Amino acid sequence: MYEEIRATAAAMVETPKGILAADESSPTLTKRFDAHSIVSTEESRRDWREMLFRTPSLSSYVSGVILYDETFKQSTASGVRIPDFLNSLGIIPGIKVDTGAKPLSGRPGELVTEGLDGLGARLERYHAEGARFAKWRAVISIADDKPSAMCVSANAHALARYAKLCQETGIVPIVEPEVLMEGDHSIDRCFAVTSTVLAAVFAELRIFDIDFRGMVLKPSMVTPGTLADPSSVQEVAEASVQCYLDQVPASVAGIALLSGGQPDQVATDHLAAMNKIGLLPWPITFSFGRALQDGPLAAWGGRPENTASAQAALVERARANSAAVV
Ligand code: 13P
């Protein structure tokens, strides 16, 4: 029953490729556009994303693209549905299906990701329209009194319910528990929190009888907080790999990391250092958003005449990340 999703999951993380996370919600993409004085409309968002996907040789480095619902339903300027267009390039279309992180009642300042209501029917529609994987992001903050057991448990439970619905629909779930970098915490504290979160997530995934070969884990890296003294690239790589080795079953199809706001080259360096450690039970690759798109967005600036330089900037990042995983 799971043969198809196992094959898809393996293709998503197949060396030397990774995933392009282009699934920012419209408000989030508008904020990114605002920083470059780009007007955000349905059309300009489509133009930006179509320009990225048309980048020559993108499919040499990118196995799949995560889309936001708006883009999933759009067509290229010449009238080809975006999921069909990606398929024609040999790139697997994926879809973000959570509806965002919302305040967790009883725990001010903490969040729980919503979107389970009606999810089964939505997944069936997305599958019929070409989606072969999905994404759900849980967000965990670190502070003296965070995360609470309630926050970790609520998010882990939602991730498992989502993953089950995906697998029953023939869709590979990307399970994304993100521990945010904001704060003054040490790398050791991030290690402890990430370990607790991953342990809780995999405990729930086991209860829901998730097929690990048919899923991809998208964790954050183990780093010190943004307000703490930085660690070396090697320290981050070793702490991250140790944490994943402790918590992630060997049968998981692969780990595709988020970049979480790290400068693009730093994220790439971390990825390369993790892969140099070697002898890992799963591929570790990238599923970056900002670390792939920040450079291209600055180069594009909303102007069609900058297409070539924006695409060159994307290829540069995609190629560097691909080289990091071999
Ligand atoms: P970043 O790499 O910018 O963290 O985005 C990845 C992602 O998909 C967040 O959900």
Looking at the CA of residue 137, tell me the nearest atom of ligand 1: 10
Work out the average pLDDT over 236-259: 98
How high is the pLDDT of residue 193? 99
Question: What residues have CB less than 8 Å from 102, skipping those under 6 apart?
Answer: 111, 112, 113, 114
Arithmetic mean of pLDDT over the chain: 98
How high is the pLDDT of residue 163? 99
How high is the pLDDT of residue 44? 98
Work out the average pLDDT over 72-85: 97
How high is the pLDDT of residue 170? 98
How high is the pLDDT of residue 147? 98
pLDDT tier at 219 (50, 70, 90 boundaries)? very high
pLDDT tier at 184 (50, 70, 90 boundaries)? very high
Mutation test of ligand 1: which of 174, 259, 285, 297 has the most ligand atoms closer than 8 Å to its C-beta? Answer: 259
User: Looking at the predicted structure, is the pLDDT value of residue 55 above 80?
Assistant: yes
User: Looking at the predicted structure, is the pLDDT value of residue 1 above 80?
Assistant: no
Mutation test of ligand 1: which of 216, 218, 288, 321 has the most ligand atoms closer than 8 Å to its C-beta? Answer: 288
Model-level pTM greater than 0.85? Answer: yes
Percent of the chain with pLDDT over 70: 100
Q: For residue 242, what are its two tokens?
A: 């140790």
Residue 17 known to be catalytic = no
Work out the average pLDDT over 52-67: 98
Angle, helices 233-247 vs 187-207, to 10°: value is: 30
Mutation test of ligand 1: which of 257, 290, 297 has the most ligand atoms closer than 8 Å to its C-beta? Answer: 290
Specify which residues 227 forms β-bridges with.
none
pLDDT tier at 309 (50, 70, 90 boundaries)? very high
- 304 CA → ligand 1 middle, Å: 26
| Number of CB atoms found within 10 A of residue 300's CB | 25
Task: Give one DSSP letter per residue of 141-176, joined into a string.
Answer: --BTTBS-HHHHHHHHHHHHHHHHHHHHTT-EEEEE
Write out pLDDT tens, residues 269-290: 999 999 999 889 999 999 999 9
User: Could you tell me if the CB of 68 is within 6 A of ligand 1?
Assistant: no
User: Looking at the predicted structure, is the pLDDT value of residue 120 above 80?
Assistant: yes
Q: For 2-324, which CATH superfamily applies? A: Aldolase class I (3.20.20.70)
User: Looking at the predicted structure, is the pLDDT value of residue 64 above 90?
Assistant: yes
CA dist., res. 275 & res. 186, Å (int): 23
Looking at the CA of residue 288, tell me the nearest atom of ligand 1: 2
User: Could you tell me if the CB of 197 is within 6 A of ligand 1?
Assistant: no
On the CB side of 288, how many CA atoms lie within 13 Å of its CA? Answer: 32
Domain ranges of the chain: 2-324
Residue 182 known to be catalytic = no
- 140 CA → ligand 1 middle, Å: 14
Atom 4 in ligand 1: which residue has the minimum CA distance?
260
Work out the average pLDDT over 86-99: 98
Buried b (16+ CB within 10 A) or exposed e, 284-296: bbbbbbbbbbbbb
User: Could you tell me if the CB of 45 is within 6 A of ligand 1?
Assistant: no
How high is the pLDDT of residue 278? 84
